[in-house]
Structure 1
Amino acid sequence: MALPWRLLLPLALSGALGRRGAAQGCIPPPAAYNAALGRPASQSSVFPNCSIAANAVDGNRDGAWPHGSCARTLEEPEPWWAVDLGARHAVAAVLVQNRRDCCWEQLQGAQVHVGDAGGERASSNPLCGTIADAGPGSLSAVCCHGLRGRYVSVLLPGRTAALALCEVEVLLQGCAPPPGAPNAARGRPAAQSSTLDGRSLAANAVDGDGDGDWERGSCSRTEQQPEPWWRVDLGRRRAVHAVTLANRRDCCWQSLVGAQVHVGDSPADGGKRNPLCGAVLDVGPGSASTVCCRGLPGRYVSVVIPGRVDALALCEVEVTARSCVPPPGGKDTGAGDAAFPATPRGNGSGEVPNSPLRGSGVTLGIAARGPAAPNLALRRPAAQSSTAPRAGAAANAVDGHRDGAWRQGSCSQTAREPEPWWTVDLGRRRAVAAVVVRNRLDCCWHRLKGARVHVGDSLAAHGTGNPVCGTITDTGPGSTSTVCCRGLRGRYVSIAVPGREERLSLCEVEVLEEGCAPLPGAPNAALGRPAAQSSVLDATSGAGNAVDGSRDGAWARGSCAHTLEEPEPWWRVDLGARRAVYAVLVQNRRDCCWEQLKGAEVRVGDSPDARGRRHGVCGIITDAGPGSLSAVCCHGLRGRYVSVLLPGRTAALALCEVEVLLQGCAPLPGAPNVARDQWATQSSTAASSGAAAKAVDGNRDGVWQRGSCSHTRRERQPWWAVDLGARHAVWAVLVQNRRDCCWERLRGARVHVGDAAGERASSNPVCGVITDAGPGSLSTVCCEGLQGRYVSVSIPGREEQLALCEVEVYGTSSGW
């Protein structure tokens, strides 16, 4: 949990500590934050019944040990606990929450250490201080005065006892992004007051490369001028938490001293008139200065050197605005979800006989969150340390099915063993934005607490030697935990329970990639379409070469478009109609001059204006290398024209292929399923377990006996219909078939959309016909915006049984 330390801690500490007469005179500085939250933790031993080390960094200060949020060791000589902050930090203070139910006196005399030695060696690190104010539920503040280290440990020296910690918070000076906050500036359009030369573009400061050597071409730089400025457009209004500026390290770093950071909605005058976050004071060679904005809202972030003539050089600017979010179909439940009823803990095997809970019952308003990245783990090869009997295979965790009831057969589970693990092979090295882990709903959800998520390229130690993204601390019935990896790269994603004997059960693991990737089957809307450009180098360099279907990056072979060297060259393709653009792929030259594409803007809009200046910006190309293929995410931005522009400089624009990817009729990632949990009816019901509502319960399980498929009796022209509750423009209908038997029955079924209800719904206009009926087939029927309140599926002209294991309807009143 993120707390406003600058407001709460002086009051909390002056009250809580002062009352006990043992205050250490330590008040955390303004904007201090908790660097231990959710980080990997370990301890000398684990007391039975959920007393793991991770409990002390779960963000919960509940001091009652039976409530399951306190770490606790066995009674042993000199017990210890340690947390890995992930990097070396200057620690301002450590806050330790004591037990309040009993045994609080055991914490008296505990030592807090900070340093670079980990695990059991952490007690040899330098000492911050000692806890002297141990009382019932005491909150002790130990001052470390900037002591630096990666590990913070708590030790009971010189005696045999049990160490119990209900929360440990490590406060650092300054501000930092909330856990998982992405860099909102990366790849966004940037501008500056002037540009020194062709390798000093404004875009260099948002290319993701913080190399502080200007000569290497990853720093922006203006000319020497009065009050130079640099500005990035975040694309929409954001609540900006912090801005981090990477300085030059080769020379001239002192020029950044006094630079001001502004955030606001006006791009005028470089953004100088927008509200001020703060100024850069701590410059040095290659320094990374963080300016705290504490939620200041605005679309533009600017850096200005006020009141003097100077040059402004920025080797990277990172803007943190919000946390990473889970993908469609679930939500972050924190420490559980209040929507879930209390569930019995089950028997010794961890199962709950005859559990009434079926699925999560959780829905998510994804439209407000925006599109989500595709799941890289879906149906990829998976393995685990062992497999529990009765359908606990590793592959169950990547089957695309989030059902949290283990008996439904969609959760992996190991045997009870020391340090169980699970891993998935993504097939190649990927940049991982986040890992989403679905917990069990029926029982035993506490087992997942403290599990670590690793990403890397090694299978040594089953992937547990790879870097740690984070720790799962928010376990509750059916919880969905999002662990932010912030672009950590690797082929393997592993989940392991460290330091104890446990069963590891995972009901779904989803791995989300940073950026966007071409969707399977997404059509290229630019192929062969009319194209134009600002000028033509020669007869073999026409604009049409960039939409000829050839990605050959050698200009001499005649498949690249190429302008003259001129101010702000541009290229544009006419898609023929207004389309929702998912992504634009741009193929660069590979024979020479590839660096000229760096900083190019991709725009989408409806005006044939040459440069597309009035069009919306999808993003900018930052990864220009020999033959690079850049994917610029547009996330459904609509327009007839797609243009590529080199802003603010004189250069030649060369494009060897431009591909404009549309979603087609499949739903965009994150589009809401408007049929979910809506009122459904059918012509008849085969049995009590085949009710019409089963086809809109959010569960795609294709085995009818597991109770998530609708089913009619055998009859003439059976039908099923769902009431969307209001009229919608329907773009796609997905129909999940049975996979256990009888799948051929669905062949020839028609999908209708219209305003007639019930049995009359089969008279509504037809979207399409299901032809690909195979075991467990998922058929997508395109409706192209057909309007109606009711969507129905019927089998015309024959006697049949109609079984539907899920029907998903994607559309809105105004389209996507």
Structure 2
Amino acid sequence: MTLPWALLLLGKVLAQDTADQGCLVPPAAYNAALGRPASQSSVFANVSIAANAVDGNRDGVWQHGSCARTLTEREPWWSVDLGGRRAVAAVVVKNRQDCCWHRLRGAQVHVGDAPAERGRDNPICGTITDAGPGSLSTVCCQGLPGRYVTLLIPGREDTLVLCEVEVVLHGCLPLPGAPNVARGRAVAQLSTLNGISLAANAVDGNGDANWERGSCAHTEKELEPWWHVDLGHRHTIYAVTITNRRDCCWENLLGAQVHVGDSLANHGKRNPVCGAILDTGPGSTSTICCNGLPGRYVSIIIPGREDFLVLCEVEVTAQSCVPPPGAQNLALRRPAAQSSTASQAGSAINAVDGNWDGNWRHGSCSQTKKEPEPWWTVDLGRRRTVAAVVVRNRLDCCWHRLKGARVHIGDSLAGHGTNNPVCGTITDTGPGSTSTICCRGLRGRYVTVAVPGREERLSLCEVEVVEQGCAVLPGAQNVALGRPATQSSVLDASSVAANAVDGNRDSDWEHGSCAHTMEEPEPWWRVDLGRRHVVYAVLVKNRHDCCWERLKGAEVRVGDSLVDRGRRNPVSCGIITDAGPGSLSTVCCHGLRGRYVSILIPGREDVLVLCEVEVIRQGCAVLPGGELPANPHPPQAPRHPPAHPLLAIAAPNVAREQRAMQSSTSNGSGAASKAVDGNRDGVWQHGSCSHTRREWEPWWSVDLGGRRAVAAVVVKNRQDCCWHRLRGAQVHVGDAPAERGRDNPICGIITDAGPGSLSTVCCQGLPGRYVTVLIPGREEQLALCEVEVYSVFPEL
């Protein structure tokens, strides 16, 4: 829903220095070649591999390492596999600009289903006629269908150099499982209207569009107000979705621009414009297609006028995927093998030991000898559905070796797994880079990483294989059990709504434990959780004695509204796609908030049958060893209940009475050590809270005394006043000490900052010696009335 002028701007950006052969890049164009497997007739040195032409980098200087290049040979070619048959609107080709640009003149673009070297047999889309320095040629294909796009120089001996190839499809295609990479990230805005209008509200996962409920960012009225989010590192941005205010003043957002890039100069205004907001109705949701625009920062700015900027939620969809909280690493400590081993220190098993250290000399990276097409593979033990593969590159040297490596998933070990389908290609290979390759449900027992088409060493410092969906953690609490439920109609007395929350998964309807509506238009069922919960997942048990296919396409919604059977709730958690006999579908909600969970069959007349519905609250797993209070207090202090119903922890609080530091101390009674004294008293005057001075980005840190795998961090807020100050505070875990704690990975962000709130931030085993709490991007005071750290494993 971008403005027409914004779409024209996008077209002009793509068309600059371009030989436009009769087509404009269509609105919401999608680059289907980005990161896809590529091959070429030969390789001029290992720095000129085919993958360079689909890495998202249009740098036209060959020496900078982002151009594909063949040897000088007869009719050289290059080809990309789009992964499936596509209707191609246009192919955009970036030429070399430092020398030899004339070589590309006359190159043909072919589109069809014949792969690689046979690409010349596919239909010709067009020919490149403009081959000036750094030229950007748009070749129009008018919807020509095919899986492979091939460029070749016909009829002569020459070198083929391609600095980027973009294959444009029509529209902003949906990306199943695509992540919101903005959620919980560091944010800032030009000003803040009041204590409930913080910048962090726009990335808290709550799409409530009523500003008074405290989940919208809101600036003061000023000239060209701005808001931006730091995604932590450079992402390839697919789309930005913005939820507008609905209780009033929604027109303020009209014309707001979305910028994406790596610069914070002028608050991101100098970064490229992805698009602008045109639809500004009450509570409107605008999706701006960015089509692979790369950047670390996403900024939203109202240009050229004085106004308020109100954002109730900002979701940034990346073309890669980020594993959700609690995602299970299927590869951890599984059997692994590789084509060769450089030395005893480079064993294949090092890449699945759970240690992300990128320094090869520290002994936690695999490494092969230098050889043609080296490979590494892990056996998951059985066939799994893979959402993503995360690959950690070497940090100390030689990181470029991983560029172009392919990730394969399948059930065959033929060719050491390289005959299995390709999930994706690694294109980002900076020092210590972490590449997330989205596999979107590709199934297989074996995951293989291989470097195709050249002699190389393969070094992997960690490989994680993330299962599709979300793994419900052991001991997770079902908050729907026994709660009041209702449905659109009842078939008979044995089919009431309460049957679906009775704790019985028996899926034979005749046994009397399934809810069952009559056949009617859009039947629905709903449970009242009693209060607002943060929902991790919803499990739905289907009928197995008959008619199981009826559940297919049912929507699961989470929210606080009862209007229109829960349809007005801001976000659908997911859709049930597996509707086999007695199927158990896990729909991942990843922290959606709401009091009501509704299941409805949209758009058709049908029967809704549910044999059990379990609503799993966000939280951490119960740890082995039984149930003990999360915070044992001294005898004279009152005991408190566990920090979280899902965090009944027998393991000790490893932060208690450890050495703590902070950026400053407000006075003698606010020492850092007060936050690890074992006392959760939230009244600062009682002398058990740490407290900094008011300063820019205050921090507090605890030294655990050794490296730990951290399961969760529990933070007790002040309850007598000023509790809002803690909102947006980041929790970091890692090996960088005290004042450098901001360099450690972020475990999570505190979004609930009510009076005396007790926030449990789940770290899922993140390793590190230091835990740091800091308030980013603003001047504030940091007060902590207790910080508890729980470890799932012994010292690392």
The TM tier, using the shorter chain, reads: 0.5 to 0.7
Residue 123 (structure 1) aligned to one of 104, 120, 123: 120
Alignment-mate amino acid for residue 611 of structure 2: C
Q: Distance in 1 between matches of 2:730 and 2:659?
A: 9
Structure 1 residue 584, shift from structure 2 partner: 1.8
Q: Partner residue of 2:330?
A: 377
Structure 1 pair 459–535 and aligned structure 2 pair: CA distance change class (3 A): same
Distance in 2 between residues matched to 1:574 and 1:24, nearest whole Å: 58
**TM-score of the pair, normalised by structure 2:** 0.58
Counterpart selection for 2:612 from 637, 657, 663: 657
Alpha-carbon separation, structure 1, partners of 2:112 and 2:500: 56
Aligned with 1:719: secondary structure? coil
Counterpart residue identity of residue 584, structure 1: V
Question: 1:106–1:575: structure 2 CA closer, same or farther, 3 Å change rule?
Answer: closer
| Cα distance in 1 for residues equivalent to 2:746 and 2:99 | 54
- Given the superposition, is the C-alpha separation of residues 752 and 530 from structure 1 closer, same or farther in structure 2, using an over 3 Å criterion? same
Over 3 Å counting, the alpha-carbon distance change for 1:782 and 1:56 in structure 2 is closer
**What SS does the aligned partner of 2:48 have?**
coil
* Mapped partners of 2:117, 2:730: distance in 1: 62
Structure 1 counterpart of 2:51, one-letter code = A
Matched ranges for 1:65-84 at <5 A: 65-84=62-81
Letter in structure 1 aligned against 2:480: A
Secondary structure at the residue paired with 1:100? coil
Structure 1 contact 751–791 (Cα < 8 Å) conserved:
no
Write the deviation string for residues 298-351 of structure 1: whole angstroms up to 9, x where unpaired: 6999xxxxxxxxxxxxxxxxx9968899xxxxx9879xxxxxxxxxxxxxxxxx
What corresponds to 2:659 in structure 1?
Answer: 720
Q: Pick one of 51, 59, 66 that aligns with 1:62.
A: 59
Change (3 A) 1:761 1:750: closer
| C-alpha distance in structure 2 between counterparts of 1:324 and 1:104, whole Å | 26
Over the aligned positions, Cα root-mean-square deviation in angstroms equals 5.2
1:797-816 equivalent positions in 2, closer than 5 A:
811-812=750-751, 813-814=753-754, 815=759
Could you give the per-residue CA deviations for residues 395-419 of structure 1, whole angstroms, max 9, x where no partner exists?
4334444333323333332222211
1:27-59 CA-to-partner distances (Å, cap 9, x unmatched) read 545445544332221112212241111112223
What aligned pairs does 1:131-146 form with structure 2 within 5 A after superposition?
Answer: 131-142=128-139, 144=141
**Larger deviation: 777-786 or 403-412?**
777-786
Letter in 2 for 1:624: A
The equivalences for 1:680-719 within 5 A come to: 719=658
Q: How far is the alpha carbon of 1:499 from its aligned partner?
A: 0.5
Q: Does 1:624 align with 2:579?
A: yes
SS at match of 2:582: coil
C-alpha displacement at 1:126, in angstroms? 4.0
Equivalences for residues 369-408 of structure 1 within 5 A: 372=324, 374-379=327-332, 381=334, 382-408=336-362
Task: Give runs of aligned pairs for residues 437-456 of structure 1, distance below 5 A.
Answer: 437-456=391-410
The 2-side partners of 1:180 and 1:36 are apart by 17
**Measured at CA, do residues 559 and 580 of structure 1 come closer, stay the same or move farther in structure 2, by a change above 3 Å?**
same
Partner Cα distance (1:807, 1:80) in 2: 44
How far, CA to CA, are the matches of 2:690 and 2:208 in structure 1? Answer: 44
**For residues 561 and 20 of structure 2, what CA distance do their matches in structure 1 show?**
65
Contact 2:323 2:466 (8 Å CA) reproduced: no
Give deviations 1:691-721, integer Å, cap 9, x for gaps.
xxxxxxxxxxxxxxxxxxxx99xxxx96223
Q: Equivalences for 1:538-549 in 2 at 5 Å? A: 540-541=494-495, 543-549=497-503
The answer to whether the 8 A contact 1:264-1:298 is kept is: no
1:801 corresponds in structure 2 to none
Report the 3-state secondary structure (helix = DSSP H, G, I; strand = E; otherwise coil) of the residue aligned with 1:55: helix
Question: Does the 8 A contact of 1:332 with 1:479 survive in 2?
Answer: no
CA deviation vs aligned residue, 1:100-156 (integer Å, no higher than 9, x gap): 333334444444444332222223444455545544434445555655443333334
Cα 1:724/1:579, change in 2 over 3 Å: farther
CA contact (8 A) 1:42 1:83 kept: yes
Gaps of 5+ in 2: 181-205, 210-241, 247-253, 255-273, 298-312, 623-653, 667-675, 692-704, 732-743, 761-796
Query: What is the CA–CA distance in structure 1 between the aligned matches of 2:34 and 2:333, rounded to whole Å?
Result: 31
Counterparts in 2 of 1:322 and 1:378: CA distance versus 1, 3 Å: farther
- Measure, in 2, the Cα distance between the counterparts of 1:502 and 1:400: 25
- CA distance in structure 2 between the aligned counterparts of 1:235 and 1:808, rounded to whole angstroms: 22
Q: Distance in 2 between matches of 1:48 and 1:126?
A: 31
- Aligned residue for 1:492? 446
Specify the code of the residue in structure 1 equivalent to 2:171: C
The correspondence of residues 388-537 of structure 1 with structure 2, limited to 5 A, is 388-529=342-483
Structure 1 residues 725 and 462, CA, compared in 2 at 3 Å: closer, same or farther?
A: farther
In 1, the alpha carbon distance for the partners of 2:128 and 2:48 equals: 21
Partner residue in 2 for 1:169: 166
Once residues 535 and 591 of structure 1 are traced to their aligned partners in structure 2, the CA distance between those partners, rounded to angstroms, is 21
Q: 1:641 to 1:114 in 2, by over 3 A?
A: closer
The one of 498, 511, 516 aligned to 1:557: 511
Find the counterpart in structure 1 of residue 41 from structure 2.
44
Q: Is 2:534 the partner of 1:580?
A: yes
| Residues 747-802 of structure 1: CA deviation (Å, up to 9, x unaligned) | xx986656799xx97999xxxxxxxx99966565767878798999xxxxxxxxxx
| Distance in 2 between residues matched to 1:643 and 1:510, nearest whole Å | 34
Distance in 2 separating the partners of 1:12 and 1:560:
56
- Evaluate the alpha carbon distance shift between residue 786 and residue 85 of structure 1 in structure 2; reply closer, same or farther with a 3 A threshold: same
Aligned residues: 567
Describe the superposition over 1:469-525 as per-residue Cα deviations: whole angstroms up to 9, x where unpaired.
332222222223333333333343332211111122223333444443423331223
Q: What is the CA distance between 1:553 and its match in structure 2?
A: 0.7
Q: Cα distance, 1:71 vs. partner? A: 1.5
Q: Over residues 542-584 of structure 1, what are the superposed CA-to-partner deviations in whole Å (9 max), with x where a residue is unaligned?
A: 5554334331211223333445667876655555654322222
Matches within 5 A, 1:561-640: 561-562=515-516, 573=527, 575=529, 578-598=532-552, 600-604=554-558, 618-640=573-595
Distance 1:654 1:116, change over 3 A: closer
Gaps (5+ residues) in structure 1? Answer: 18-22, 185-233, 238-262, 268-274, 276-292, 302-318, 326-330, 335-364, 668-710, 728-748, 765-772, 793-804
From the superposition, tell whether residues 508 and 652 of structure 1 become closer, same or farther in structure 2 (CA, over 3 Å).
Answer: same
* Contact 1:719/1:762 (8 A) holds in 2: no
Structure 2: which amino acid aligns with 1:40? Answer: P
**C-alpha separation between the residues in 1 aligned to 2:289 and 2:151?**
33
Superposed CA deviations along residues 164-194 of structure 1, whole A, max 9, x for unmatched, are: 222233445x33449888499xxxxxxxxxx
Secondary structure of the 1:453 match is strand
Aligned partner of residue 395 in structure 2, secondary structure = coil
Q: Secondary structure at the match of 1:120?
A: helix
In structure 2, give the amino acid aligned to 1:663.
Q
- The answer to whether the aligner puts 1:150 opposite 2:147 as a matched pair is yes
- The change in CA–CA distance for 1:333 and 1:497 in structure 2 (over 3 A counts) is farther
1:98 to 92, 95, 99: 95
Change (3 A) 1:534 1:445: same
CA apart distance, 1:452 = 1.8
SS at match of 1:391: helix
AA aligned to 2:330 is A
Q: Is the 8 A contact 1:181 1:323 kept in 2?
A: no
How far apart, in 1, do the equivalents of 2:518 and 2:680 lie?
52
Q: Alignment partner of 1:522: what SS?
A: coil
Aligned match of 2:785: none
Larger radius of gyration: 1
The separation in 1 between residues aligned to 2:174 and 2:568, in whole angstroms, is 34
